[in-house]
Amino acid sequence: MMDWIRQAEQDDPAPVRGFAGFLRQDLDAVTCGLTLEWSSGVVEGNVNRVKTIKRSMYNRASFRLLRIRILTRP
């Protein structure tokens, strides 16, 4: 991975260089995310689901209805 990061930082377009720089800054977290069996994907999926429901109901319904929609949707 380090070889790709070095090459990307030298030769690639600016967006890819920026991405490679972020990978280098948080290399330990990226390595753990790619190699360990644990993941927060399920939690992040639920957070995304709740935020989507909340956004769709913004300023249109009560907190009670929002709570019911969150608890009843799979």
User: What is the mean predicted confidence (pLDDT) over 15-34?
Assistant: 89
20 and 9 Cβ atoms separated by less than 8 Å: yes
12 and 20 Cβ atoms separated by less than 8 Å: yes
pLDDT higher than 80, residue 73? no
pLDDT higher than 90, residue 48? yes
pLDDT higher than 90, residue 61? no
- Secondary structure letter of residue 62 according to DSSP: -
The residue extents of the domains of the chain are 2-35, 41-72
What pTM, to 2 d.p., does this model score?
A: 0.49
Q: How confident is the model at residue 58 (pLDDT cuts 50, 70, 90)?
A: confident
| Residue 17 identity | R
pLDDT higher than 90, residue 33? no
